Amino acid sequence: MKALLKKEPGKGFTLENVEEPVIKNSDDVKIKILRTSICGTDVHIYEWNKWAEERIKTPQIGGHEFVGEVIEIGDNVKGLVPGDIVASETHIPCKVCYQCKTGNMHVCKDMQILGVDRDGVFAEYAVVPEIVLWKLDESIPLKYASVMEPLGNAIHTATATDLRAKHVLITGAGPIGAMAIQVAKASGAATIIVSEVSEYRINMAKEVGADLVINPSKENLYEKVMEFTGNHGADVLLEMSGNVTALNDGIKSVRNAGFVSILGVYNEEKIPFVMNTAVFKNLTIQAITGRKMFETWHIATQWLKYNRINIDKIVTHEIKMEDFEKGFELMMSGKSGKIVMKVSE
Ligand code: NAD
Ligand code: ZN
């Protein structure tokens, strides 16, 4: 089968002919990949940054976001049959650790990530355990189904608190921040304020419904937020940039006893943080990883199915998997939202 392989340490992926994966365990499911999308993590692996160098073992197939069709099931698979259309959680849990047993599978102690710790889904076929698969309503277009995993990040971050009638500040309108705009709308926010430095993404944020977009490289974020909210401040901050200045200026813009939900991942393990501001404001700070299994997936499904959210302007490109290099270049240029690659019809 065709697959995008990281053959050896170094930059890029190559399109290779590799052996098709086979069902090894009784709970395995074999999937024909229909669409797969490129995530920032894939870009780090493509670029071969320090994190990738330390984490990725080669040769390995990349990619983790996908939608596919079930074509074969192991003997113990109970909830799926060939022909089902599935999206997938990308964090494979062990099912037996404390977190897995107590409703926090998404932070399993022994979690394996598709395309990071084992072969991924930039391929014609993949084999994954049933536990991660999410059967889809066929009314959901494939290009949206492929990006339900990052949409789930946005939902997980934004549903960590009640957004009804709140002024919500989102720092960073990359694909996930832009999705969070739609999620905040569906959650009943009063207003949605976005902070973003890239012109392309400023436009995307406006198109998907931000009430105010501030460019902090040109304007003072705190002053603009205070002005817009009548000196109230943001009730909630959703940090989705992974930028330290955005995080700290965002916290400064939140009202006393406000809520901060942080999805962003920072380049350094130790970052300067306005801790005393957070303390004296009595903020509640929630760090977020992954998606709740499978509460977030249920919300994503219902909102897409019943058109409560619209992510059409966030999935900006659809290309063939063979044209992956163009896709990665686009991602690295920052002039895109999500890029979905077609693998099969
Ligand atoms: P992205 O890098 O595409 O988007 C980040 C956006 O922030 C960009 O558009 C960038 O222009 C903007 N930005 C940079 N500096 C800024 C500043 N000073 N002020 C305002 N905006 C600024 O990333 P994404 O794919 O949308 O993901 C969002 C963040 O969430 C990233 O940090 C990513 O690493 C992280 N992430 C975390 C998890 C998790 O499980 N915790 C999962 C997925 C992604
Ligand atoms: Zn576990």
DSSP assignment of 54-105: HHPPSSEE---EEEEEEEEE-TT--S--TT-EEEE-SEE--SSSHHHHTT-G
Phi, psi of 201 (to 5 degrees): -80, -25
CA of 152 to the centre of ligand 1 (A): 15
Q: Are 238 and 180 in contact (CB under 8 A)?
A: yes
- What pTM value is reported for the model? 0.98
- Active-site annotation holds for 58: no
- Closest residue by CA, ligand 1 atom 39: 289
Domains in the chain: ranges and CATH: 2-147+314-342 (3.90.180.10), 157-287 (3.40.50.720)
- pLDDT of 201 reads 98
338 is written with which tokens?
Answer: 């999500």
Tens-digit pLDDT profile for residues 283-308: 999 999 999 999 999 999 999 999 99
Per-residue pLDDT, 239: 98
**Coil, helix or strand at residue 120:** coil
How sure is the predictor about 30, in pLDDT bands with cuts at 50, 70 and 90?
very high
Annotated catalytic residue within 44, 156, 167, 317 = 44
Taking only the tens place, the pLDDT of each residue in 144-196 is 999 999 999 999 999 999 999 999 999 999 999 999 999 999 999 999 999 99
For residue 19, the 8-state DSSP code is P
Nearest atom within ligand 1 for CA of residue 266: 32
ipTM of this predicted complex? 0.99
Q: Average of pLDDT values for 251-276?
A: 97
The mean pLDDT value of the chain amounts to 98
Q: Which residue intervals of 197-307 are DSSP H helices?
A: 199-207, 221-228, 244-252, 275-280, 295-305
Identify the DSSP state of 344: -
The pLDDT of residue 271 is 97
Residue 297: its pLDDT value, please? 98
Return the pLDDT at 16: 98
- pLDDT given at position 294: 97
Ligand 1 centroid, distance to 242 Cα (angstroms): 5
